[in-house]
Structure 1
């Protein structure tokens, strides 16, 4: 029997995203609890930001009509610190003003204090050393946000800067999507947790901490179900437990077809499963399906994604496939994986028949260096690196070539 052709990364992702639907439940949270959540609805500003025309510089508020030549001398007749409101500016006068203070009526420009000098022996006079432009250094009322207009759009992932925008708009609470609930467990009798003694042939489970941290960095409510013995009954029981209160189940390991790989028969028995071979390196095997929520009053399913066990394969396939799937479950605005053209300062002379994702680091010359060992078992390549090169199947390149670079920093939020 001929094997079906391997899926491309694009085909696999299209299939995954075709199934994902955003969670519908929302909750109202205080601003201090909104970091890492997804905004459920557009929010409007309660105020104009800034509320009045104000200065962006320390200096003097002036009327441009009073300054027709360099060296003009004006009388300083008021002082306006931030938080105060000045009186209307009189002709041939200037107001000493400080950053953030409202611009007084009649003033139409700000002169930076560096562009002025005091008149000797005249404490209330200032000399303006150049002709100002109308409106310079004035921040206009509502130029950042307008009262009643949308300040933040539904579907955005709330970072510190979005919370700052919401606060400047006068908001104290936000309606957000509930967190996507993800359960994770790990298969393999060879696995041990750090701190436990290693038996002969044993290894410490790095995928547990890597994947749980990835989930939490995306704002998920992640449940760790631990290491599951390499038995069909134990794997089925773990799936039933994970399906109860979770939207998605993620596993690592056991997605091949060996005698000790129980994921396929277990998920098939508890739900449905496709086992894919994807033309990428690292990370060829990927399983996708769903597990029945048999104990619920209403029928339902928890999605299932099974990742390979090698640590780099598990990490890379999470970034390429699980992350976009979760983003869609969260109801986040459409986001494509960023790819930037950068210079490779190394040669890659041997093309692979699969789409390769190479661990690289940005060097001091603005190019990319390659980690010398690209094995799927060498997780230090991902720790050392800043990101991945997306190298298409069958493509070799010389040093100095422009390549597609994906930074890790853009993939873990």
Structure 2
């Protein structure tokens, strides 16, 4: 019996409604771009906000715009160690001699008058004295004593080396936009504004488990025909990189009762569920049956390699609901489908700004076989050639069970749906792993 969505979910569009807007939709031959479009249209962001100290805000998603409460800098100040004076003194091409009447330090400004023919020795960051608008760097000057300084002609122009109040940020100007994932520079910016706490999105809760009687957890004896479960560890790492709160539910046996209990528990305790295995057509794969029974789930054969079978949708249990991503069981396929389908959706649920993945065109070192009509993701090693240009070579055999190739690779070579064979020297698109994996 199909699970009925809870009352607060009835306004959420069904997958049938989403795909009805697409032309030529075929779940048994779905292009990558169309699958991504469906997920993008179906997934909604969560709206749960908490306030945290800026020391706890790293990698969190900002839940509201931050508007600068002050000018940064608060006053006109010097960008150099040197001498501050009025630019009106610069008339003519002769050397300029100025009398030094005081010193302005960062945090301790000079507050006396500065008259014609006078200047103030000034340190970097110090407030500009009243009447002064130009700073000559110390190294451009000469001094016969501490009471005067000589400037050669044409070493500065009016206004040089002065930072204006509000030049970095003016009071009332947006400083950080809602949806930004806060990085170290953002924490420094917040501190410069005197902001001690910021509103952030609640961390996304993601439950994940592997399915299959052949899987063993680390530490268990490895019986004949069995393998250690690697997928939970790669999923753990990828979800941690996204800043999710994670619920590792281990390995779930190919048993309808066990699967139903796992899905219900995951649904009632998490915002999203990720499974690996059980979405193909194997005789013991009860996962598809249970997914369909508990919610609005569709099953796809995507035109891609690796990672053809995938399930996506939303399931419900005891008044709760959670988005579901049923990934293939092969180790490399799990990582590929996570990064090209689940990652963007999870970031969208977090309320984060989601820029496109950074693809770069580089030269292929060798030939790559490729059939048109599917998108291929091949593991590659990106390097710098002798002429300084970037080039890429694939890691070798590209079977979806060869997890070692993902460890050796530093990028993914992305070969588009319509693309055919690649010749040595052709340009291909790559997705660097640095900062992603």
- TM-score, normalization by structure 1: 0.91
Change in 2 beyond 3 A, CA 1:381/1:90: farther
Write the distance in 1 (CA, Å) between the matches of 2:85 and 2:249. 68
- Find 2:322's aligned residue among 288, 302, 318: 302
Write the distance in 2 (CA, Å) between the matches of 1:301 and 1:316. 25
Contact in 1 for aligned 2:384/2:391 (Cα 8 Å): no
Matched, 1:110 2:147: no
What's the offset of the Cα at 1:237?
Answer: 1.0
Matched, 1:19 2:42: yes
Contact in 1 for aligned 2:379/2:398 (Cα 8 Å): yes
Matched, 1:409 2:434: yes
Contact in 2 for aligned 1:360/1:368 (Cα 8 Å): no
Contact in 1 for aligned 2:27/2:299 (Cα 8 Å): no
Equivalences for 1:135-154 in 2 at 5 Å?
135-154=159-178
Who is 2:332 aligned against?
Answer: 312
Change in 2 beyond 3 A, CA 1:198/1:125: farther
What's the offset of the Cα at 1:315?
Answer: 0.6
Matched, 1:328 2:348: yes
Runs of 4+ residues deviating >4 angstroms: none
- Find 2:33's aligned residue among 10, 14, 24: 10
Change in 2 beyond 3 A, CA 1:40/1:318: same
For residues 178-211 of structure 1, give each alpha carbon's deviation from its aligned partner in whole angstroms, at most 9, with x where no partner exists: 1111100111222223343322233222211211
- Find 1:89's aligned residue among 86, 108, 114: 114
SS, match of residue 363 in structure 1 = strand
Contact in 2 for aligned 1:338/1:410 (Cα 8 Å): no
Write the distance in 2 (CA, Å) between the matches of 1:352 and 1:380. 27
Who is 1:124 aligned against?
Answer: 147
What's the offset of the Cα at 1:400?
Answer: 2.9
For residues 255-296 of structure 1, give each alpha carbon's deviation from its aligned partner in whole angstroms, at most 9, with x where no partner exists: 1110122210111222232110111111111111222122x3
Matched, 1:267 2:287: no
Contact in 2 for aligned 1:43/1:152 (Cα 8 Å): yes
SS, match of residue 41 in structure 2 = helix
SS, match of residue 143 in structure 2 = strand
Gap runs ≥5 in structure 1: none
Who is 1:209 aligned against?
Answer: 233
CA-atom RMSD in angstroms: 2.1
Deviates more, 1:29-38 or 1:219-228: 29-38
- TM-score, normalization by structure 2: 0.87
Who is 2:314 aligned against?
Answer: 290
Contact in 1 for aligned 2:62/2:198 (Cα 8 Å): yes
SS, match of residue 142 in structure 2 = strand
Contact in 1 for aligned 2:85/2:135 (Cα 8 Å): yes
Gap runs ≥5 in structure 2: 1-25
Deviates more, 1:64-73 or 1:143-152: 64-73
Contact in 2 for aligned 1:57/1:99 (Cα 8 Å): yes
What's the offset of the Cα at 1:250?
Answer: 0.4
SS, match of residue 75 in structure 1 = strand
For residues 352-404 of structure 1, give each alpha carbon's deviation from its aligned partner in whole angstroms, at most 9, with x where no partner exists: 54211122233133413222232222223223333222211332223333322
What's the offset of the Cα at 1:58?
Answer: 2.1
Who is 2:256 aligned against?
Answer: 232
Contact in 1 for aligned 2:327/2:338 (Cα 8 Å): yes
Deviates more, 1:27-36 or 1:342-351: 342-351
Write the distance in 1 (CA, Å) between the matches of 2:309 and 2:93. 75
Equivalences for 1:181-192 in 2 at 5 Å?
181-192=205-216
What's the offset of the Cα at 1:4?
Answer: 5.5
Who is 2:20 aligned against?
Answer: none
SS, match of residue 191 in structure 2 = helix
What's the offset of the Cα at 1:349?
Answer: 4.6
Matched positions, count = 404
Matched, 1:45 2:68: yes
